[in-house]
Amino acid sequence: MAAHLLSLLLATSVTVAPTLMAPPIVGLTAGDLHDTFDQTRGQSRHEAIDIMEPRGTPVHAVVGGTIAKLFLSKPGGNTIYLFDQAGEFCFYYAHLDRYVPNLREGMHVSPGQVIAFVGSTGNASPDAPHLHFTIFQLGPEKRWWKGTAINPYPILMHLLKMGADGIPK
């Protein structure tokens, strides 16, 4: 799996992969994940994966870090941009039904902390609530809206295959 992860990262010009400390949805299995990163959506690549879950399912911080931006966008609906502690990576969550009460920009969150709930806001179908999730490698400017997209699929698959102690299951 590590070799597969490395080959996918090299194909995207990203040389360092983020280490996720928790899945975005508790109880995820490999069967819940589908690699839709390179699929075309409208006029562009999807550059994310969609994790289908019932509306209201808790969404968790995948790393400890800072809520860089809470943003309502036409395509993404309610979104969260979470920066890791080093400011190297941004984790993007979209189509959220709502945020947890008192979530705010600049707030520190811990891995596994509930930050929002699955929904279908933005351009998502109301009949298909899901978490739109992706990762960006940030540039030196550390702009929440700008970075190099990284396919989260192999990184999430790697997390699911590892135990909490980093030892393969």
Say if pTM beats, i.e. exceeds, 0.85.
Answer: yes
> What CATH superfamily is the domain 2-161?
Glucose Permease (Domain IIA) (2.70.70.10)
Query: 3-class DSSP state for residue 72?
Result: strand
Confidence of residue 169 (pLDDT cuts 50, 70, 90): low
Percentage of residues of the chain with pLDDT beyond 90: 73
The domain spans of the chain are 2-161
Q: How large is the average pLDDT for residues 144-165?
A: 85
Beta bridge pairs of residue 111: none
Around 169, how many Cα atoms within 13 Å sit in the side-chain half-sphere?
Answer: 10
Q: How large is the average pLDDT for residues 118-133?
A: 96
Confidence of residue 165 (pLDDT cuts 50, 70, 90): very low
Query: 3-class DSSP state for residue 135?
Result: strand
* Residue-level pLDDT at 56: 98
d(CA 156, CA 162): 10
If one compares 43 and 69, the residue with the highest pLDDT of the two is 69
